[in-house]
Chain A
Amino acid sequence: MNNHYDIIIIGAGPAGMSASCLASKYKVKILVLDVAISPGGQIFRAVETNQSSHKQKFGTNYLNGIKLVNKFRKCSIDYQSRAKVWHLSENGEVHYLKDNKTHFVKAKHILITTGAQERPFPVTGWTLNGVMTAGAAQILLKESNLGIQNAVFVGTGPLLYLIAHQYLMMDIPIKAVIDTTPLSNYFRAIPKIAGLRGNYNEIYKGIKWIGDIKKSNTFFINRISDLRILGDEEVNAIEYQKNGQWNKIECEHVLLHQGLVPEINISLSVGCRKIWNQQQACWNIDVDKWFQSSLPCISVAGDASSISGAVAAAASGKIAALNILAKLNIITAKNRDQLAIPIHKSLKTEMSIRTFLETLFNPISRFRIPNNNDTIVCRCEEVSAGEIRESVDLGSKGPNQTKSFTRCGMGPCQGRLCGLTVAEIIADQLNCSIEEVGYYRIRPPVTPITLGELSTTKPTVTRSN
């Protein structure tokens, strides 16, 4: 049947593309589904079409993406762009939307490589017009050559310094960079450098970026203890607290970033088990060393299961692909193990920096658990931290009860931007662990679908999820 595949890969970022390139060398029928108009994921977004004369200034990692995208384009696979997966079942059925029509496909194995999202950054005023994420600024730059003039960059993590550095290289004026990394993180992180075993490249890069930013005229401030964004409907200033004193910077744009977290809704919707990663302070999808999830026909690799960066994502995609090929009896398990040796090795090298990075850039709890009860937690339904706390007082023990009391998590984003915050607030108030508190119950659709499109779906006899 021509809508039956051996493998369906969801997401054409580094992990998905690498998995496709490897698996397509064997006699397997592969379908790759991706929401964007061209492959690359977020990190290599628009790498094919970007014709900017500034392209070089995005850095070597971005340019390496072109090689991978070209390789991906040459693979013998069925690649569907602008394809939004809205329903998955654990027995390999996939429904996706493309061109306002819904399509049904089936595979023996599904590989989820849908990547990451930004960690929520719930501070007072973060919902004002003019506040965006650092990732949003990157997308505007890569896709449309647009630079946000005189923005204040706020937060912590490599991506923040990367984009600020890119702006610097492209002469886009920056109003200020406010670094929220606390001093204590440095003390905790430095001992972890030993784990890097000499692979200091990325650290040197980061130090250079920050050095360049500090050397330029950009106003750079760090070690702050609190933040609030001001404005009526639109941003007009940002205030930061340092050494007990509040200071104001007038601006029209604020770019927030405090790290990436896996976008787990798609994996949870099909029933994959999740685990709390204490070091990363976020949920991971529970996978084994082959990126096989708790469901036999589903693997989850790259940032979709745990944040590891683009190079590690590519390696994990390949490892997952090898394992799937073995499960499909295309290669033997022994073969798989052999072929995986060098890839596992390079993955290990890439991962060696993670402990250091995750310790250094662990966001402080002040910016994960809002103090101010007026701070919005659920952006979609505009539910405040105070309302969440009130529902806990009323007896709510977890996000699902809280959701039914406050509507938090009921909007179109289905908890992506509030799930972590809500769980942390509840755990903090009840003085228990996040694992005990849990996460929202995720239901289909993975992404919104019209009733007209739903009515024309080919009916399938699927077990419930």
Chain B
Amino acid sequence: MNKMCDFDSIVIGGGMIGSSIAFGLAKQDEKVAMIDEGDNALRAARGNFGLIWVQGKGEKNSSYADLTLQSAKKWPKFNNELMALTKIDIGFEQKGGFDFCLNQEEFDERIILLKHIAENSHEQFSYEMFNHDELAKKLPKIGPEVVGASYSSWDGHVNPLLLLRSLHKGFQELGGKLLTHSVSDIKYNDSYFSVQAKNGVINSNKVILAAGFSNQNLAPKIGLKMSLFPQRGQILVTEKIKPFLDYPTGLIRQTNEGGLLLGDSHEDVGFDDGTNLQTMQQIAQRVTTIFPFLRDVKMIRAWGSLRILTDDRLPIYDYSKTCPGAYTVSSHSGVTLAPIHALDIASYIVKDGKLPISLNCFSAERFND
């Protein structure tokens, strides 16, 4: 480590992605600092549904489909590691998950989509289609209007808030340092980076931007570009009810505490993470079509959260050629990809100094033309 440096690596951003990478770096015996904003920061990590979701991903990009499935396969090992270190049970389950089809057209289109993904998969992606009667055997309370569902055995869920807590705790147990500041500037000084935070400057050999939307402002300072835009999703939270849903689904999951999380929406509203009645109503209508008995279950809270998206909805993994040692990471699937971030990405950063060719397609350069 350069004598000027306080740390080997600084990870800017303490959300799902930042804390996964910071945890991974600390595991590699790096001296790591993670810089996170305060209580009211815009936090995608707190607005997470909690799914480990493979089916349907990477329709237009088989590398992304492969990456997603690789990550899902690493989840059990990752969960065990986290549990052993932090003793926090994050409610990990990977028994497979369902995505509902509410009419025949949806059902037919789903088959085409998943077939296409399976054919292009290098990771042996597989799926099953369930018609209504078959589905009713797995999910007895399913409503009569549900035509069927697709199933993938790699799908699962965790409690995303506990995952975040566990990553933070694991990071600190491994010697990582958490600093609460907002970062205003980064300077590259030929062999190390100076990160300007509110209380002063912190120097390190490497810097990793995992700060969600703030990445856009910070990336140019390390010779990289990023173009991100927000998309809101709203979630309804219900009171606790008797466990009835054995599998997570794309729109409904029952948490290990008994409440249901109900989604979702895709709204173009800028940086507004509030809720609106129309969307809440649409979600309620959809889920009561899927499980009619939910009509009598009470919603106790609704919230909105902003997905951090790129133009093609694929992640960004980049390393800077003009400022070696600087990296950017952005994705809206922080839970599914947590093992890749903690295990693989962290490893590439420490051991190779750059990212492998297999991740080239995720560089932000793909948006240049």
Q: Are A451 and B284 interface neighbours, CB within 8 A?
A: yes
* 1/0 contact string of A363-387 vs chain B (CB within 8 Å): 0000000000000000001000000
* Number of A-B contacts defined by CB within 8 Å: 118
Residue of A nearest to B291 (CB): A451
List of B residues within 8 angstroms of A462 by Cβ: 276-278
Report how far A360 CA is from B172 CA in the complex, Å.
45
Query: Which residues of B from 300 to 334 have beta carbons under 8 Å from A?
Result: 300-304
Q: Are A457 and B295 interface neighbours, CB within 8 A?
A: no
List of A residues within 8 angstroms of B278 by Cβ: 459-462
Q: Is the interface of A mostly helix, strand, loop or mixed?
A: loop
Choice from A381, A397, A438, A457 contacting B281 with Cβ under 8 Å: A457
The reply on A464 being an interface residue by CB < 8 A is: yes
The reply on A346 being an interface residue by CB < 8 A is: no
List of A residues within 8 angstroms of B295 by Cβ: 450-452, 455
Q: Are B180 and A454 interface neighbours, CB within 8 A?
A: no
The reply on A211 being an interface residue by CB < 8 A is: no
Residues of B in contact, count (CB < 8 Å): 44
Q: Are A465 and B239 interface neighbours, CB within 8 A?
A: no
List of A residues within 8 angstroms of B284 by Cβ: 451-452, 454-455
List of A residues within 8 angstroms of B298 by Cβ: 448-451
The reply on B201 being an interface residue by CB < 8 A is: no
Q: Are B38 and A397 interface neighbours, CB within 8 A?
A: yes
The reply on A401 being an interface residue by CB < 8 A is: yes
- Chain B nearest CB: distance from A327 CB in Å? 25
Q: Are A394 and B168 interface neighbours, CB within 8 A?
A: yes
List of B residues within 8 angstroms of A410 by Cβ: 237, 301
List of B residues within 8 angstroms of A464 by Cβ: 269, 272, 274-276, 304
* 1/0 contact string of B261-292 vs chain A (CB within 8 Å): 01000000100101111101100110110000
Choice from A391, A396, A451, A465 contacting B238 with Cβ under 8 Å: A451
List of B residues within 8 angstroms of A461 by Cβ: 278
The reply on A87 being an interface residue by CB < 8 A is: yes
The reply on A404 being an interface residue by CB < 8 A is: yes
Choice from A414, A438, A457 contacting B277 with Cβ under 8 Å: A457
Q: Are A455 and B281 interface neighbours, CB within 8 A?
A: yes
Query: Which residues of B from 117 to 168 have beta carbons under 8 Å from A?
Result: 161, 164-165, 168
List of A residues within 8 angstroms of B36 by Cβ: 395
Report how far A444 CA is from B235 CA in the complex, Å.
11
- Chain A nearest CB: distance from B160 CB in Å? 9
Residue of B nearest to A87 (CB): B277
Q: Are B39 and A405 interface neighbours, CB within 8 A?
A: no
List of A residues within 8 angstroms of B269 by Cβ: 464
The reply on B296 being an interface residue by CB < 8 A is: yes
The reply on A73 being an interface residue by CB < 8 A is: no
List of A residues within 8 angstroms of B46 by Cβ: 400, 404
- Chain B nearest CB: distance from A369 CB in Å? 19
Residue of B nearest to A400 (CB): B39
Instruction: Pick 12 A–B contacts, CB within 8 A, sort by A.
Output: A394-B178, A395-B36, A397-B38, A411-B300, A438-B39, A445-B300, A448-B299, A451-B288, A451-B299, A455-B284, A462-B278, A464-B304
The 5 A-B pairs with the shortest beta carbon distances in the complex, nearest first, are A398-B39, A452-B295, A464-B274, A448-B298, A454-B284
Chain B interface (Cβ within 8 Å of chain A)?
14, 36, 38-40, 46, 161, 164-165, 168-169, 172, 178, 180, 236-239, 257, 262, 269, 272, 274-278, 280-281, 284-285, 287-288, 294-304
Q: A444-B275, A444-B302, A465-B275 are in contact. List 10 more A-B contacts (CB 8 A).
A: A395-B180, A398-B38, A407-B161, A448-B239, A448-B300, A450-B296, A450-B299, A455-B288, A459-B281, A462-B276
